[in-house]
Chain A
Amino acid sequence: MTILDFTAVVAIVSFVAGLLGSLTGLGGGVVLVPLLTIFFHVDIRYAIGASLVSVIATSSGAAAAYVKEGFSNIRIGMFLEIATTFGALLGAFLATRIPTSALAIIFGAVLLYSAYLSRKPRPLDQRNLPPDPLATKLRLNGSFPDLEGERSYNVQHVPTGFSLMFGAGALSGLLGIGSGAVKVLAMDQAMRIPFKVSTTTSNFMIGVTAAASAGVYLSRGYVDPGLAMPVMLGVLAGSLLGSRILVKAETKSLRLVFSVVILVLGLQMLYKGFWGKI
């Protein structure tokens, strides 16, 4: 395959991944690394480098649209970014030291977990939770516009959420993904942040988290311009289009299709990792 053909095909695949990732809310980065390694025979380290760059593009590109709605909480975001950026830095250093087969196995496990999580209904927002002293001290509690007017919320279990976000950051740095699945676990399940607030806040955090490991990846030579270019441009275009048509699209069946794709790719990555084919 010539560079021209390769670039065109990778750009199209990245575009579709970005579009589906944005429409389903599952993120495009998580399918890119397995697609690049399994179907394009790209070394997993190059694939991770390219995917990481595209994660920053999607997060920053969507930020302006998210912000207008007024759901995100910059204090929650900034406080948890201490955990995610620190984790991301550690993850990126680990990625340069562990064998690629181990990377593939961890990746496979994260994909399976994401597929499982995408089929599970979101926990219902719990209202009128008592204020947590630590969350109050850190000024994490807030409010957001709801159908019935301004709705306030009290953040719970701050230490658990903070630790989980460290893990999310480490996975992001290790695998070059946004690790939305772990963030859901931390922000929705542990900290009980309302769905709308956690989604928009975590979108903001993903870009900052990825930037923390991107420097390490770039300086270690994992970011190849020829590969990162079609991935970044494709994913960015796809996700921007996705965020425009989001309202009209029927996302339920799309979500099912996409989670099956994630499941299959996860099994493939596990297989490749365990049989040393990567």
Chain B
Amino acid sequence: MPAAQAPAPHPLPPQPQPWDDHRIEVILGNLLRAGVLISAAVVLWGACIYLFRHGHEPADYRVFRGEPSEFRTIPGVIQSVISGRGRGLIQLGLLLLIATPIARVAFSIIGFAMERDRMYVAFTLIVLAILLYSLLGSGLGV
């Protein structure tokens, strides 16, 4: 039995591109666009259900009442989506939309860490903390 053929010498693997600012930005830019398109699709889907069911009722936004809790909190929105409400789906789409720039900030931490830029990892963490506080600390999470 002939000896196993020696593997052909591999060509040099393509050098990974360095993690420069521009490459990180391109990835983040595409992430943002995908997030927006997904959330717009969810909003549109919810809009169809909402308009089909309530389209012929009178519209009135003159008086501010504040939204009911099912449209004000994350568990409320999820509950409302499960029960098949169009406006619940719209709110879910809007929550996804709000989450998109937050995801960008979170991913930037990885980018800065790969560049070993500790100062900017710290700055990004501060921004992320403010964003998460706004989203979860303002009563949206309950």
B94 at the binding interface (Cβ < 8 Å): yes
Q: What residues on A are CB-neighbors of B102 within 8 Å? A: 208, 211
Contact A218 B29 (CB under 8 A): no
B:43-70 near A, CB below 8 Å: 43-44, 46-47, 50-51, 54-59, 61-68
B79 — which chain A residues lie within 8 A by C-beta? none
Cβ of A197 under 8 Å from chain B: no
Question: In whole angstroms, how far apart are the Cα atoms of A214 and B28 in the complex?
Answer: 21
Set of chain B residues within 8 Å of A6, measured between Cβ atoms: 59
- Complex-state Cα separation, A64 to B36, whole angstroms: 11
Given contacts A221-B72, A225-B46, A232-B97, is CB(A60)–CB(B131) below 8 Å?
A: no
Residues in A neighbouring B87, C-beta threshold 8 A = 225-226
The contact of B26 among A68, A139, A215, A229, by CB within 8 Å, is: A68
Instruction: Kindly state the separation between the CA atoms of A226 and B94 in the bound complex, as whole angstroms.
Output: 12
Cβ-Cβ contact count across A and B, 8 Å cutoff: 213
Complex: A185 Cα to B86 Cα, angstroms: 42
Asked if A56 meets B98 with Cβ closer than 8 Å, knowing A63-B28, A85-B131, A233-B47, the reply is yes
Closest B residue to A2 using CB positions: B56
Q: Does A25 contact B (CB under 8 A)?
A: no
A43, B131: Cβ atoms closer than 8 Å: no
Partner of A229, one of B65, B90, B99: B90
Considering only CB atoms, which chain A residue lies closest to B117 in the complex?
A139
Q: Is the CB of A68 within 8 A of B29?
A: yes
A contact residues around B32 at 8 Å (CB): 60-61, 63-64, 207
Encoded as 1 (CB less than 8 Å from any B CB) or 0, chain A from 181 to 223 comes to 0000000000000000000000000011011111110111111
* Interface residues in A, total, Cβ within 8 A: 66
Residues of A within 8 A of B66 (CB): 220-222
- The reply to whether A216 and B134 contact each other, CB–CB distance below 8 Å, is yes
- The answer to whether B78 has its CB under 8 Å from any CB of chain A is no
With A41-B61, A64-B29 as known contacts, state yes or no: A3 contacts B130, CB within 8 Å.
no
Residue A110 interfacial (CB < 8 Å): no
**Contact call B61/A63, Cβ cutoff below 8 A:** no
Q: In the complex, what's the smallest C-beta–C-beta distance from A154 to chain B, in angstroms?
A: 17
User: B residues within 8 A CB of A60?
Assistant: 32-33, 35-36, 97, 100-101, 104
Closest to B56 in A: A2
Provide the residues of chain B in CB contact with A214, threshold 8 Å. Answer: 98, 134
CA distance A59 to B100 in the complex (A): 11
Known: A56-B101, A236-B36. A229 touches B62 (CB 8 A): no
In the assembled complex, the CB of A134 is this many whole angstroms from the nearest CB of chain B, namely: 13
**Could you tell me which residues of chain A, from 34 to 69, have a CB within 8 Å of some CB in chain B?**
40-43, 45-46, 53, 56-57, 59-61, 63-68
> Which B residues have a C-beta under 8 Å from some C-beta of A?
21-22, 24-26, 28-30, 32-33, 35-36, 39-40, 43-44, 46-47, 50-51, 54-59, 61-68, 71-73, 86-88, 90-91, 94-95, 97-102, 104-105, 108, 111, 117, 119-120, 123-124, 126-127, 130-131, 133-136, 138-140
19 CB-based A-B contacts, threshold 8 Å: A2-B56, A2-B58, A3-B58, A7-B59, A70-B22, A74-B24, A78-B105, A92-B134, A208-B102, A211-B100, A211-B101, A211-B102, A215-B135, A218-B91, A218-B95, A218-B98, A220-B139, A228-B94, A232-B97
Q: Supply 4 further A-B pairs (C-beta < 8 A) apart from A221-B67, A226-B87.
A: A45-B64, A75-B21, A75-B120, A219-B73
